[in-house]
Structure 1
């Protein structure tokens, strides 16, 4: 339908914009979540137990997924940005296959669209959501395409992996269960899918029971998340509106696809796109939206293809407007690269080397400096790697304050911009510790107690 030249121009534009996003974001320093995941992953590879030795309210698969990369690559942040890119490219392959299954010759547009969108929604971080999108898109593709029983088992396993990567995937997996049932007349295929879903969960449950970790797992991974207060909906909506503005071009064709285009099995894509959105409005984190992005990309490619067939001139006009409105987004990526990301990543590497060779075996880092637990190879003083409303429900601040007095030659990394969660910990540090180094780009001071 879509004029071939117009489609190729659109693909080229999205590809070039995505290259800009990829290049600039390669210099994003390691984040809080990455620091926690990498630290716990390394500890697990050394025989420690998550949830017991380290508190976290995420399912365990993310730690296991990062063990092999930790063995193969060093602590340089750029390798983890490249790994995130690799995961995103894998997901774009399944987006391509899904789109081609719906309509020939739109797969490349869908794949490039996904890469564009995932970088708008912070997919450059090596966190749960890029893995989540990979598992969900691969599972969905196997369901709609396969006739082989073993592929249905694999699809179910991938769906289970999504849940074991992050809890909100449960909603998408419910949609996959419906799709597996609806799309297969053979009950046998559906049962193979269910077998795949429950198998990893059964193995995990058996391990948790025999290791005595079941209660603490349920408490941290399920119950503790309810101690995290929802953000004011106005703040979440403001952030969401900004994200929608940056990606409006895709949403208008998704809407067109949803309400106008007659497409077989359209409901399956819309279910995967829409069902999880209720979880995105709890907090103003852009990366939450990545869970839906593979299906946004496919719906967009279908919608824009059909729209261009009927309204070619209007399609060109909308594309021109998209180009103009993308200029601020491109400028933002370049501004962040030049003024923030590049300088912070360089300073993070310098600080890593400085802290690594400081005389001291133990370290405590404020939330935003959790990557230093991983990169410095120092021992943490508490099983709480970060202090939030969730961990404070379990006495994290008091635990840290008490242990600040118990360790000799302790290194503390603390913000110098006044933006901290625990004033009690800050007062203790400033009263008992000596500041020996400052990193202005990171807004970080280094303290020691010797």
Structure 2
């Protein structure tokens, strides 16, 4: 009976590995062929602005650290190749770490299976060309190195940890909280936490400030980015402690990937708490709760939930797994691997080759339409010697244009800027005053009915009606115009009236 059960368990693990590998190869192929998150259009637009010579946070703005925009300024084939390579590498990192920790083939295989789960979860929740995807990769590397050598204090080891911590936080600052949670789980002594997390974090801050200064971004980062992101966003939302206890939101986004994977994480949390209680007594419970709260806060720091935001938790998942792997006994030693395999076996067919091929085909149709529109708009701007355009309403053409938006904040037009920091509102509407060509969707500007937006959209409508015309300037009179958009030309570009607004 025991032999049959053993064969059954091995069969489940093997089947999980086969199914997981299929999904992994499909994801790698999908990412290599240019799959990207919805936010990529903003990253690519800012990347093009950097190529055009504009300064991040001073001439153009979006809501992430510089790293993603610098990557976006490179040929996209580089990013696509990196995304695919990361997909294939992540499970191997878990497998290698598990093998080095235990020297057992079965444990290494379980590490590979867990790595498959985490990689596919990251691809599902964050998608390619997303900051959490890149930060999660380097965060897992940091945690893996920490798990392999928790007591090592050499300069080379600290330097390696510092480099990995820097590369994690460089994609998104809230990763600091999830890495702290992972360090709390893995390290049992204050000295270890100080030397392997706090010291690398301090050096990371110095490296970050230096890099920002070298690229010329430091002034805008301090004056605009930090107040807008970590002042206004945090102040306008619920208190921090409430955001940290919304563990259910973390579970909700995991459930969209796999209900069973929630079980894996819950059992890991409980197992690690019990393991640590043997040496840390009831203090282990407090530390386990603190780590979970830190991770939830990291995912919810922006004040509104989104699936990709909670990918910051993956270094924490890795830390839980490595602690469990080292001390696993009893039911969890069998139950967790089976749950991991079942997660892979039951994954949706929506993450397979055929589904991805269909998505790529649909994206290609959309890309051709938007590229054609962008080329016509670029031709008008070139013919009239206009460097930048201002957009209102939807703009799927934006990432395909060579010219950069005049809008300071590329994420929104004037109609929705009211939800953001006063700093961004002022800069956005100031840039509207300087616009000589405005691109609008369709042939009529749509007035918003939401109370927060209504006054500003009415003001925008009047400003466009009084200061712009749909009749092209002479320089563009013979050029074709995109079918689904209207190019509005300033009536008197030599005497431009400012947008009429006052900041309260």
TM range (shorter): 0.7 to 0.9
Give SS of 1:395's match: helix
Partner in structure 1 of residue 436 of structure 2? 407
Distance 2:43 2:461 in 1: 28
Give SS of 1:447's match: strand
Distance 2:461 2:358 in 1: 31
Distance 1:210 1:401 in 2: 23
| Bigger mean CA deviation after superposition, 380-389 or 201-210 | 201-210
Of 103, 118, 126 in structure 2, the residue corresponding to residue 114 of structure 1 is 118
Deviation string 1:174-223 (CA, Å, 9 cap, x unpaired) is 34665568386698777863564343145247659996444334324432
Partner in structure 1 of residue 500 of structure 2? none
Partner in structure 2 of residue 219 of structure 1? 227
Distance 1:332 1:91 in 2: 17
Partner in structure 1 of residue 143 of structure 2? 140
Distance 1:180 1:81 in 2: 35
Distance 1:119 1:296 in 2: 15
Give SS of 1:283's match: coil
User: 1:14: how far off?
Assistant: 1.8
Distance 2:352 2:463 in 1: 36
Matched-pair contact (CA < 8 Å) for 1:129–1:288: yes
Q: 1:183 to 1:211 in 2, by over 3 A?
A: closer
Partner in structure 2 of residue 161 of structure 1? 167
Deviation string 1:257-313 (CA, Å, 9 cap, x unpaired) is 33246657997999766622134343231111211235436746958996475569x
Matched-pair contact (CA < 8 Å) for 2:182–2:319: no
Distance 2:234 2:203 in 1: 29
Partner in structure 1 of residue 312 of structure 2? 291
Distance 1:423 1:278 in 2: 34
Matched-pair contact (CA < 8 Å) for 2:67–2:171: yes
Which of these two proteins has the greater Rg computed from alpha carbons?
2
Of 371, 392, 395 in structure 2, the residue corresponding to residue 369 of structure 1 is 395
Give SS of 2:425's match: coil
Which segments of 5 or more consecutive residues in structure 1 lack a partner in the other structure? 439-444
Matched-pair contact (CA < 8 Å) for 1:149–1:192: no
Matched-pair contact (CA < 8 Å) for 1:250–1:300: no
Higher relative contact order (CA 8 A, sep 6+): 1
Partner in structure 2 of residue 171 of structure 1? 177
Partner in structure 1 of residue 94 of structure 2? 95
TM-score (norm 2): 0.67
Q: 1:337 to 1:237 in 2, by over 3 A?
A: farther
| Bigger mean CA deviation after superposition, 425-434 or 354-363 | 425-434
Partner in structure 2 of residue 394 of structure 1? 425
Q: 1:22 to 1:306 in 2, by over 3 A?
A: farther
Give SS of 1:165's match: coil
The alignment yields a C-alpha RMSD, in angstroms, of 4.8
Matched-pair contact (CA < 8 Å) for 1:272–1:292: no
Q: 1:364 to 1:22 in 2, by over 3 A?
A: farther
Give SS of 1:287's match: helix
Distance 1:66 1:35 in 2: 10
Deviation string 1:385-439 (CA, Å, 9 cap, x unpaired) is 1224225652366345434xx414x54457999797774587469855659545x
Give SS of 1:449's match: strand
| Count of residue pairs brought into register by the alignment | 426
Matched-pair contact (CA < 8 Å) for 2:441–2:486: yes
Q: 1:4 to 1:320 in 2, by over 3 A?
A: closer
Distance 1:227 1:437 in 2: 41
Matched-pair contact (CA < 8 Å) for 2:181–2:292: no
Matched-pair contact (CA < 8 Å) for 1:120–1:246: yes
Which segments of 5 or more consecutive residues in structure 2 lack a partner in the other structure? 1-5, 382-387, 472-480, 490-504
Partner in structure 2 of residue 151 of structure 1? 157
Q: 1:237 to 1:336 in 2, by over 3 A?
A: farther
Of 121, 124, 129 in structure 1, the residue corresponding to residue 127 of structure 2 is 124
Distance 2:131 2:122 in 1: 13
Partner in structure 2 of residue 259 of structure 1? 270
Deviation string 1:318-364 (CA, Å, 9 cap, x unpaired) is 9669745x4xx324878975876632442223321332243322434
Matched-pair contact (CA < 8 Å) for 2:17–2:341: no
Partner in structure 2 of residue 182 of structure 1? 189
Matched-pair contact (CA < 8 Å) for 1:58–1:165: yes
Distance 1:238 1:196 in 2: 33
1:35 aligns to 2:60 (yes or no): no
Give SS of 1:56's match: coil
Give SS of 1:384's match: coil
Which aligned pairs between 1:188-199 and structure 2 lie closer than 5 A? Answer: 193=200, 196-199=203-206
Distance 1:45 1:134 in 2: 26
1:342 aligns to 2:345 (yes or no): no
Distance 1:341 1:17 in 2: 16
